Structure 1
Amino acid sequence: MATLPPQMTDEQIRDMIQGPGDVEWSYEMRRQCQEILPGLLLGPLQASKSLPILQELGVTHIVCIRDAKEAFSVRPRFPEHFRYMVLDVQDSEEQNLIRLFPQAKQFIDEAVAAGGRVLVHCNGGISLSPAFVVMYVMQHHNLSWEDALHLVQNRRYCISPNGGFLTQLKEYESIYKARNAVASFPQYQAAAARRKRAVEDDEDGDERDEERKRAFVDQDDAMQT
């Protein structure tokens, strides 16, 4: 069953989305990673190439998202030090991210739950990996796609998911909220299951009654002949 995000006040949500107000963004920071949520970092390929920096940041897991044609350069570099998940994803507006997201979410959830820290990166850290992180933030904190996008953008100012990815972020908001609604009311699930069984039992009973009636009719016909 899905785990629902903790409830927060409107003020807490606004403060969380706004993020730290004392950070002055510089062009050089595009090449670095930023912490989006506790234990979740987002950045470009460049941020995954320095073992000392990764260790200094306390990274334990890395989600490497790449286009298949980038596999030579965008790849796990320190498999003996970190646990990797590699996702081959086209950075195009037609690419389906929603289908691929659940496995990335599970990887991140398990890492953070175990006390780890996860770096999610693609080549530039501008469109592809930010789209995955926005989806994660959206579901983790029960936010709208716009609030989740602003939260990530307020920590990594250079992100800009392409139009196709933005459309999927909107679609995913409806998907995860529907799942949360079902998870919030398990008694309704049980009641629905009971109603379904009752209907099936009634249908089975009606079929048995019809069979018995046909048997009596057949028996009467046989006796008359």
Structure 2
Amino acid sequence: MGINFNEVLSGLYIGNVRSRNYDSSPENCKTCISVGVYDMGKPRWASNYYFYKLLDRQDVSYEVMHTIVFSAAEVIDKCVSRGVLVHCGVGVSRSALVVIGYLMIKKNMSFPDAYALLRSRRSCINPNDGFVEFLKILDAQLTNERRTFLTSQLAKADVNYEDLDIRDSTNAV
């Protein structure tokens, strides 16, 4: 049986339902997040490990929920150092939603950058239109939150800009 998963970042893998098989699972992977696949129980390779989470959602646009993506991002972030496999039935749409969401939320990536990174690691990804729309809205929300946070931090900083020695690097010798 061929490899049914791809490494996205160190310790983070995306795959299809076959990737949970013992003989093809990522080496040293201890956490499995199953997205919308009927519960087949813990994979054999994860049975002795501490965490397994089933995110049970159908692959239809209206099922996309903010809480699922944020919950999965928290799990991945907590467990990535021990290896996390995110899979769905085919490894194309639902698992891509979760992994792109993680990259946006925890790695501060924009939707286009997160999508491009994942596509470079697993060329077959193709989140459905509803998922893409959700991720674009999430991108706008996260961008606005980060902008608001940075603006508030700058407002708190007591910086006298006249004391800064800022030079135009284009005129530097």
Q: 1:102: Cα distance to partner?
A: 1.3
Correspondence for 1:215: none
Aligned-pair identity in percent equals: 27
Q: 1:141: Cα distance to partner?
A: 3.3
Q: 1:122: Cα distance to partner?
A: 0.8
Q: 1:154: Cα distance to partner?
A: 1.0
CA RMSD of aligned residues (A): 2.3
AA of the residue aligned to 1:61:
T
| 3-state SS of paired residue (2:114) | helix
Superposed counterparts of 1:32-111, under 5 Å: 32-50=4-22, 52-54=23-25, 57-67=27-37, 70-71=38-39, 73=40, 75-78=41-44, 80-82=47-49, 83-111=51-79
C-alpha contact (below 8 Å) 2:73/2:105 kept by paired residues: no
Correspondence for 1:141: 107
Structure 2 distance, partners of 1:41, 1:77, is 15
AA of the residue aligned to 2:96:
P
If you compute each CA radius of gyration, which structure gives the higher value, 1 or 2?
A: 1
Q: 1:77: Cα distance to partner?
A: 2.6
Superposed counterparts of 1:103-122, under 5 Å: 103-112=71-80, 115-122=81-88
- Any unmatched runs of 5+ in structure 2? 157-173
Residue deviations 1:109-158 (CA, integer Å, cap 9, x gap): 1112xx31110001111111111111111233333212211110111011
TM-score (norm 1): 0.61
Higher helix share: 1
Alignment match of 1:174 (pick from 117, 131, 140): 140
Residue deviations 1:150-178 (CA, integer Å, cap 9, x gap): 11011101111111001001011012223
Structure 2 distance, partners of 1:140, 1:169, is 14
Superposed counterparts of 1:136-215, under 5 Å: 136-185=102-151, 187=153
C-alpha contact (below 8 Å) 1:64/1:85 kept by paired residues: yes
| 3-state SS of paired residue (2:141) | helix
Provide closer, same or farther for how the CA distance between residues 189 and 95 of structure 1 changes in structure 2, counting only shifts above 3 A. farther
C-alpha contact (below 8 Å) 1:127/1:161 kept by paired residues: yes
- Any unmatched runs of 5+ in structure 1? 1-27, 191-225
